[in-house]
């Protein structure tokens, strides 16, 4: 232990003798670790936000979604990027009816969104229309700024506007009693939603920028060709969630004749599809960020080789005084490790500080976890050892007699 402490002290003294060189060498590792910290903390925060949304609903939420055969972790990026994963939804109205009859189900809301021209007295814009049921208010816990939620009254074309949608159409959120024309048909505005804290949620709907209508009206507007993106289900208790999830799976599977063209997710599993995509994108970005680490590692190796060359006589003297090859190797390897770990430490602080600052403009908080700290710490150690071992071996193998003949 005393010998190791001596190595650390000697390493710190050597690095302090060339402060600017040490700082510039450390900078490459710092940038790489900071980049990885930003990526991991933001992606983790995004995934946690979706989980928190489900928890805010008491955790008793089940979602039924279409699933294309062949869409898996390997091709999920291409499927999502091209928006072709669910060109024709496998979810049907029969599924809605079957799910609503399951015991312990409190509310069922199908989600069928489509793009359409929306026209007010003075404004025409292309926006998102969501056809659903009045139960959506209970399932997603939507808050109204004014008015009431949509009704299922036959022949009653009414709509609830997102906060920003109301402003875009009427110049104000006070839009109750106004008419909005959707695909040429008039809809009476009966409610306006409160401004949403974020556009990312387990319903995959930006509730700030949407016109919500009842499901029957949506079918009529689309001549019965409406596609159901998912079914949101609220269960009476989180204690019954597992049992209800299983029962919903059974009734939907019966409708689909055992075809695996759907998935039933509940609790924290609702965020898994999004998390899979987030994880893949995170790994791709992490690979890009690792380029900075490689550059930083090469910088460490180059500087350590320069140090070995400049300290050849010192190496010869230490060997003449009894130092063996292992002690010399450990001395230089310790120096490279200190540079790398210092870069990792300050990189982690800089990365998380940047993420936190960026989160002021985002709807979620970056994830600060021990796992991220351990990952970037481990990466720093690997970089220090991998790129420091060659210079350390070169120093250890120097001939003491030849080294003593060396003059700076």
Q: What is the pLDDT of residues 237-285, one digit of tens each?
A: 878 888 888 999 999 988 888 677 888 888 666 665 556 666 777 777 7
Question: In angstroms, what CA-CA distances link 83 with 76, 78, 79, 219, 241?
Answer: 10, 8, 6, 22, 31
For 213, the domain range is 91-258
On whether residue 65 sits in a domain, the answer given is no
The residue from 195, 225, 258 where one domain ends is: 258
* Cα–Cα distance, 260 to 243 (Å, whole number): 20
Are 234 and 281 found together in one domain? no
**What pLDDT was estimated at residue 408?**
52
On whether residue 338 sits in a domain, the answer given is yes
Model confidence at 101: pLDDT above 60: yes
State percent of the chain over pLDDT 90: 28
Mean pLDDT for the stretch of residues 63-78: 57
**What pLDDT was estimated at residue 74?**
43
Are 96 and 153 found together in one domain? yes
* Cα–Cα distance, 394 to 76 (Å, whole number): 47
Which of 39-43, 99-103, 242-246, 280-284 has the weakest average pLDDT?
280-284
Mean pLDDT for the stretch of residues 306-329: 84
Mean pLDDT of all residues belonging to the chain: 82
Question: 191: pLDDT confidence band, cut at 50, 70 and 90?
Answer: very high
On whether residue 86 sits in a domain, the answer given is no
Are 210 and 345 found together in one domain? no
On whether residue 389 sits in a domain, the answer given is yes
The residue from 204, 227, 258 where one domain ends is: 258
Are 293 and 394 found together in one domain? yes
Mean pLDDT for the stretch of residues 289-318: 86
**What pLDDT was estimated at residue 372?**
85
The residue from 206, 224, 258 where one domain ends is: 258
Are 320 and 350 found together in one domain? yes
Are 303 and 244 found together in one domain? no
On whether residue 355 sits in a domain, the answer given is yes
**What pLDDT was estimated at residue 121?**
87
Model confidence at 158: pLDDT above 90: yes
Are 229 and 334 found together in one domain? no
Nearest CA to 62 among 261, 203, 198, 255? 203
Q: What is the DSSP string of 126-190?
A: EEEEEEE-TTHHHHHT--EEEE------TT--EEEE-HHHHHHHHSSS--TT-EEEETTEEEEEE
pTM metric for this prediction: 0.63
**What pLDDT was estimated at residue 406?**
61
Quote the number of domains for the chain.
Answer: 2
Are 295 and 243 found together in one domain? no
Are 119 and 214 found together in one domain? yes
Are 219 and 353 found together in one domain? no
On whether residue 80 sits in a domain, the answer given is no
Residues β-bridged to residue 231: 64, 110
Give me 348's structure tokens: 């982690």
Mean pLDDT for the stretch of residues 81-108: 77
């Amino acid at each position: 232990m005393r010998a190791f402490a001596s190595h650390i002290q000697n390493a710190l003294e050597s690095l302090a003798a060339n402060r600017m060189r040490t700082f510039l060498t450390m900078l490459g590792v710092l940038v790489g670790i900071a980049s990885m910290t930003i990526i991991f903390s933001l992606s983790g925060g995004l995934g946690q936000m979706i989980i928190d949304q489900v928890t805010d609903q008491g955790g008793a939420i089940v979602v039924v979604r279409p699933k294309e055969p062949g869409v898996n972790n390997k091709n999920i990026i291409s499927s999502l990027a091209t928006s072709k994963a669910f060109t024709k939804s496998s979810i049907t109205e029969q599924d809605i009816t079957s799910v609503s009859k399951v015991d312990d189900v409190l509310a069922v809301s199908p989600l069928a969104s489509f793009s359409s021209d929306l026209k007010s007295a003075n404004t025409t814009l292309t926006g998102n229309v969501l056809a659903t049921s009045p139960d959506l208010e209970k399932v997603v816990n939507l808050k109204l700024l004014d008015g009431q939620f949509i009704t299922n009254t036959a022949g009653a074309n009414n709509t609830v506007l997102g906060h920003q949608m109301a402003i875009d159409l009427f110049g104000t959120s006070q839009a109750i009693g106004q008419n909005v024309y959707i695909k040429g048909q008039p809809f009476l505005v009966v409610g306006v939603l409160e401004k949403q804290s974020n556009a990312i949620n387990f319903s995959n709907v930006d509730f700030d920028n949407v016109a919500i209508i009842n499901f029957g009206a949506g079918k009529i507007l689309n001549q019965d060709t409406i596609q159901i993106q998912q079914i949101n289900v609220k269960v009476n208790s989180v204690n019954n969630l597992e049992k209800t999830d299983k029962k919903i799976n059974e009734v939907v599977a019966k409708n689909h004749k055992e075809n695996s063209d759907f998935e039933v997710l509940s609790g924290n599993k609702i965020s898994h599809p999004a998390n899979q995509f987030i994880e893949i994108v995170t790994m791709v970005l992490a690979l890009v960020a690792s380029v900075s680490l490689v550059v930083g590692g090469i910088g460490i190796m180059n500087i350590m080789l320069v140090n070995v060359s400049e300290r050849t006589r010192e190496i010869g003297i230490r060997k003449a005084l009894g130092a063996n090859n292992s002690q010399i190797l450990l001395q230089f390897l310790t120096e490279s490790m200190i540079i790398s770990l210092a870069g990792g430490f300050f990189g982690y602080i800089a990365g998380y500080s940047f993420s936190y600052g960026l989160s002021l403009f985002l709807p979620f908080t970056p994830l600060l976890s021990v796992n991220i700290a351990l990952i970037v710490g481990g990466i720093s150690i690997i970089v220090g050892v991998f790129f420091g071992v060659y210079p350390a071996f070169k120093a250890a193998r120097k001939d003491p007699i030849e080294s003593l003949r060396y003059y700076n």
